[in-house]
Amino acid sequence: MATDTPFPDAGAQATRKRGGGARRTRKAALHLGGIAVSLIVTLLGLIAITFFIGRVVPIDPALAVVGDRAPKAVYEAARVQLGLDKPLIVQFVTYVKAVATGDLGMSVSTGRPVLQDLKEVFPATLEMATLGILIGIALGVPMGVHAAAKQGSLTDQVIRVVGLAGYAIPAFWLGLVGLAVFYARLQWVDGPGRVDIAYDGLVTPVTGLMLVDSLLAGETDIFFNAIGHLALPACILGFFSLAYIARMTRSFMLDQLAQEYITTARVKGLPERVVIWRHAFRPILLPLITVCALSYAALLEGSVMIETIFSWPGIGNYLTVALLNADMAAVLGATLLIGTVFIIINKVSDALYDVLDPRAR
Amino acid sequence: MSAPLLAVENLKVTFPSPSGPVDVVKGISFSLGRERLGIVGESGSGKSMTGRSILGLVRAPGKVSATRLEFDGMDLLKQGEKAMRKIRGARISMVMQDPKFSLNPVMTVGEQIAEALVAHKRLPRREIAARVRAMLEAVRINDPDRVAGLYPHEISGGMGQRVMIAMMLIPEPDILIADEPTSALDVSVQAQVLDIIDDLVRNKGMGLILISHDLNLVAHYCDRVLVMNSGRLVEDCAASELKNAQHPYTRGLLAAQPRLDETRDELPVIDRTTWSAT
Amino acid sequence: MAFADMRNWLLDESPASRRQARWGRIFRISLAFRGNALAMVGLVIVLALIAMAVFAPWIATHDPIAQDTYARLRPPSAANWMGTDELGRDIWSRVVFGARITLAIVILVAVLAAPAGLLIGAAAGYLGGWVDRVLMGITDIFLSMPKLILALALVAALGPGIENAILAIAVTSWPSYARIARAETLTFKNADFIAASRLQGASSLRIVVGHILPLCTSSMIVRVTLDMAGIILTAAGLGFIGLGAQPPLPEWGAMIARGRTFILDQWWVATMPGFAIIVVSLGFCFLGDGLRDVLDPKSGEKH
Ligand SMILES: Nc1ncnc2c1ncn2[C@@H]1O[C@H](COP(=O)(O)OP(=O)(O)O)[C@@H](O)[C@H]1O
Ligand SMILES: [Mg+2]
């Protein structure tokens, strides 16, 4: 943007720059403001969608709550209690208010407030997905860079195959096969659950993250046991994020390596390592942050399928149980939570882009 | 003239194509001393490929071959990648066409200049900063300390190209190749940038290869001129002799140059039928 | 010789008629496509899927739902190529009949979601102004939602079943088509031939339907093909959880779910349908990549 009109002398350049500084901060602030607004709008959209799913799609939500053999009086009471006698828009406003204050209703299956359930199960999912994304980033980024730098090399071929596998293999199937191979046959890892039954309930949840809590309690046995249980599901999630991250890194890097300034760097006589990591890789850091954020969000979502397989007491498992019991309050609560985290990750990575990019600053 | 710094004989650059390999540079020969050599020709005639093959930077699938490609007694085609890296920047350097694309957008100008120096010399930090500042001053940037901290998008095209020159001259190479260094710039700053190149090259007694499609410009800034047409050299003469050039293509280029005292209504079109079959 | 004449006619750089131009284009595209080995593999897989679905009764060796308690959990053999499940049903035959379900899901989702996205995107792009802003605002909201979770919640509300699963997947996949259609529309909107037909008095609807939609189709076909793998995986996931196709339908995801219990000793029950899913998804990926390379080369690897 600044290079559109060349300024012949540095004096004019300097004046323009000084004036530009304030303008640019204002622009960045405006942009961040825009992201904040779109965050709020999108969250409202999410609430509208869950409202729609919960109140409009079922033929009669009251019937769904009381069952079809309930006496008429009970049914009517339920209708009034649910606010179904009011106009839809009033119901929506009530719903938004309830969600905003954390009132997600009661779960039919656990008999407890949905919010309280979610607070308990979410850390387990977070722990698994976080480890998964760390594996995906730690392996996927260097692999993608290497594949682009050495097109046609072994890494390049591996990434092609892994990238395709990431598209074509069902996560739940891979989890099942992984369990059969690495747990049952090879016994490299521990089986389903977060820890062995013998260790269950021994550490008091502080953060809800088993690895952290066991260390806080000084229980290294439990810590290593938890790693044994976490390893396989995290690696499987890691595999899917690796597939995506490596493929995107490779494609970004190929774009970069075709740029003129890469030739400039080579003209200077820089070693290939510097050309690749400093000149080609640094400009893709920002888009990569976005890719990793998207991948992280996708893992939180994808854990739904994995958790069932590994009897992992996280939000995915909670959601699946609720789905099968038609426990709509729990289903919608879990949907809202995953959706909110998903949206926030997305928007924060957008904002990060603006804050960190020297060209947007 | 002293012994040539660079000797090129029968240089070819070949690209594969669906209908067999295509030579985009078709066996050209020239030599360069500590002088200013111009290469002119229309777009696509192979000027950039000639420049890049000297640096060993023709990208795959392009292939370079020559009966002789010698720099300072070294056969450039026989040097390994590591030896070439020692030559690039330090001994032969190149100013690229458009600073908008040839400067790294996420590194400050100062970083990029310093890096060109550090790649070839181990120097204490303070000295590097001093040399960068001196170099920026040499390309007539008034407030070098401030400019060094800017990103490429924050400076103008003319200043970008001066930064580029600073970057390429800071390791004090023997040969500078300038590949259309001003064609992306505003007309008002073109002369300024060329004057800076001219000044520095002459003061340091370097060899210069100035690539351009502008015959007048080359004639003005160079001692000797090569004219290229679709991969071949069609003219090799002293700049002062240019108006006596014989080859019909060169004559055509000369005739097509508009002049200030212009009285023609229409500029003539080069008649290619007289010399080429391609 | 006639063949060579035909080829020359097709590859003519200056076609004399509209028909020659169109056939020439198709010929050139198919030439480029044939040169792409992976794309051909993809095409073969997808054709095989279609053939399997159409000729399932002849390809299958057994009745897919006939139970045989004496032949429970048999490993793969000459009689049962992929073994049998816990009710003694032949897994190969179930996989073959499952192709019908997979194909039906894929086609129905494409038929529901793509035209919806196309219309919304084209309308937004062509009409511009507040229509554009509202439609794209909604599209963006949908795009930043977790698709799988929304589909799950929607099926939970609608009730489990294959029809509802298809509907839920379609509801969550139209937004990306709308985005593409809008982008394409914007590039064509100000083209001279659109202006010309506007001058001739064509209505907006007519221009959108008659001129703009046909121009979006090639990028749409590419995108839909590339999305197929994801659709198949989502449908299988719904089936696996128990919200998709209901028993005794031989849906691949549901078959994996039934095989879960036996994964340690009778591995074939769960793995075989998984291979089917993988092969078919890969087929659509290859085909989509190949189609993109010949139909829409500019879009690159951005999906
Ligand atoms: N990667 C490539 N593949 C095939 N041909 C190329 C490639 N790069 C350049 N060329 C061809 O080489 C010729 C010379 O290019 P170049 O040296 O850049 O011309 P100039 O700098 O004189 O404008 C051009 O005709 C161009 O089409
Ligand atoms: Mg050039």
Over residues C230-241, the mean pLDDT reads 92
d(CA A347, CA C22): 45
Do A96 and A47 form a contact (C-beta atoms < 8 A)? yes
Residues C92-151 pLDDT 10s: 989 999 999 999 999 999 999 999 999 999 889 888 889 999 999 899 888 888 888 899
- pLDDT at B278 (0 to 100): 47
| A36-50, A210-224, B162-176, C195-209: least confident range | C195-209
Do A200 and A124 form a contact (C-beta atoms < 8 A)? no
Distance of CA B212 to the CA centre of its chain: 8
| Chain A neighbors of B52, CB-CB under 8 A | 263
| Chain C neighbors of A251, CB-CB under 8 A | 300-302
Residues in contact with ligand 1 by the CB-under-6-Å rule are B 15, 24, 41, 43-49, 62
- pLDDT at A82 (0 to 100): 74
B242: pLDDT strictly greater than 90: no
Whether residue B16 is preceded by a cis peptide bond, meaning omega within 30 degrees of 0, is no
d(CA A66, CA A285): 54
Q: How many CB atoms lie within 10 A of CB A205?
A: 13
β-bridge partners, B42: none
Residues A279-325 pLDDT 10s: 999 989 888 998 999 999 999 888 888 999 999 999 999 999 998 88
Over residues A332-338, the mean pLDDT reads 92
C149, C157, C271: residue with CB nearest A58: C157
Query: Which stretches does DSSP call E strand in C99-184?
Result: none
Which token pair is C145?
């939602």
Average pLDDT, chain C: 85
Structural domains of chain A sorted by starting position, each given as residue range(s) with its CATH number in brackets: 38-103 (no CATH), 114-356 (1.10.3720.10)
A1: pLDDT strictly greater than 50: no
Phi and psi at residue B122, to the nearest 5°: -85, 120
d(CA B52, CA B67): 17
**Closest residue to atom 16 of ligand 1, CA basis:** B46
In chain C, positions 55-84, which contact chain A (CB-CB < 8 Å)?
none
DSSP summary character for residue A104: -
A106: pLDDT strictly greater than 50: yes
Contact status of C158 with chain A (Cβ, < 8 Å): yes
In chain A, positions 83-142, which contact chain C (CB-CB < 8 Å)?
none
Over residues C182-202, the mean pLDDT reads 81
Give the list of residues 6+ apart from residue A189 with CB closer than 8 angstroms, or none. A182, A183, A228, A229, A231, A232
C219: pLDDT strictly greater than 80: yes
- pLDDT at B25 (0 to 100): 93
In percent, the amount of chain C with pLDDT more than 70 equals: 96
> How far apart are the CA of B183 and the centre of ligand 1, in A?
17
Residues across chain C:
303
Residues B64-92 pLDDT 10s: 999 999 998 889 999 888 999 999 999 99
- A59 confidence band (pLDDT: 50, 70, 90): low
d(CA C210, CA C202): 10
Contact status of A150 with chain B (Cβ, < 8 Å): no
- pLDDT at A12 (0 to 100): 35
d(CA B27, CA B8): 10
DSSP codes joined into one string, C173-202:
HHHHHHHHHHHHHHHHHT-HHHHHHHHTT-
- B274 confidence band (pLDDT: 50, 70, 90): low
User: Helix/strand/coil (H, E, C) string of A282-323?
Assistant: HHHHHHHHHHHHHHHHHHHHHHHHHHHHCCCCCHHHHHHHHH
| Chain A neighbors of B90, CB-CB under 8 A | 269
Whether residue C248 is preceded by a cis peptide bond, meaning omega within 30 degrees of 0, is yes
A317 → chain C, closest CA residue: C241
Do B160 and B141 form a contact (C-beta atoms < 8 A)? no
| Chain C neighbors of A308, CB-CB under 8 A | 241
**Cα dist from A33 to A28, A343, A345, C132, C182, whole Å:** 8, 16, 16, 22, 26
Residues A136-164 pLDDT 10s: 999 999 999 999 998 888 888 888 888 88
d(CA B215, CA B239): 10
User: Which chains have 3+ CB pairs within 8 A of A?
Assistant: B, C
d(CA B8, CA A305): 65
DSSP summary character for residue C261: G
d(CA A240, CA A169): 9
β-bridge partners, B65: B12
Helix (H, G, I), strand (E, B) or coil at A112: coil
- pLDDT at A36 (0 to 100): 87
**Closest residue to atom 12 of ligand 1, CA basis:** B24
d(CA C18, CA C22): 6
The ligand placed nearest to the CA atom of residue B39 is 1
Q: Minimal CA–CA distance to B228: which of B82, B36, B27?
A: B27
Higher-pLDDT residue of A336, B184: A336
Q: Exposed e or buried b for every residue in A232-268, given b needs 16+ CB within 10 A?
A: bbbbbbbbbbbbbbbbbbbbbbbbbbebbbbbbbbbb
d(CA B172, CA B154): 27
Locate tokens 């980024």: which residue?
Answer: A141
Higher-pLDDT residue of C6, B103: B103
- A16 confidence band (pLDDT: 50, 70, 90): very low
User: What is the ipTM for the molecules in this complex?
Assistant: 0.88
Higher-pLDDT residue of C62, A244: A244
In percent, the amount of chain A with pLDDT more than 70 equals: 90
Tell me which H or E stretch contains C83: none
Q: Minimal CA–CA distance to C216: which of C124, C82, C108?
A: C124
- pLDDT at B249 (0 to 100): 78
- pLDDT at B272 (0 to 100): 67
DSSP summary character for residue B241: G
Indicate yes or no: CB of B158 within 8 angstroms of CB of A278: no
β-bridge partners, C84: C90
Which token pair is A329?
């309050």
**pTM of the complete model:** 0.85
Residues across chain A:
361
Distance of CA B163 to the CA centre of its chain: 15
- CATH entry, B6-274, from 2.60.120.260, 3.90.1300.10, 3.40.50.300, 3.30.465.10: 3.40.50.300
- pLDDT at A13 (0 to 100): 35
Distance of CA A353 to the CA centre of its chain: 17
Residues across chain B:
278
Q: How many CB atoms lie within 10 A of CB A18?
A: 9
Q: Minimal CA–CA distance to B4: which of B86, B73, B64?
A: B73
In chain C, positions 135-154, which contact chain A (CB-CB < 8 Å)?
137-138, 140-142, 144-150, 152-154
d(CA C217, CA A216): 58
DSSP codes joined into one string, A57-78:
SSS-HHHHHH-TTS-HHHHHHH
d(CA B39, CA A220): 73
Do A198 and A186 form a contact (C-beta atoms < 8 A)? no
Which token pair is C22?
């169109």
Q: Find the radius of gyration of the CA atoms of chain B.
A: 19
Residues B6-34 pLDDT 10s: 999 999 999 998 788 999 999 999 999 99
Do B141 and B159 form a contact (C-beta atoms < 8 A)? yes
C216 to chain A, closest Cα gap in Å: 25
The domain ranges of chain B are 6-274
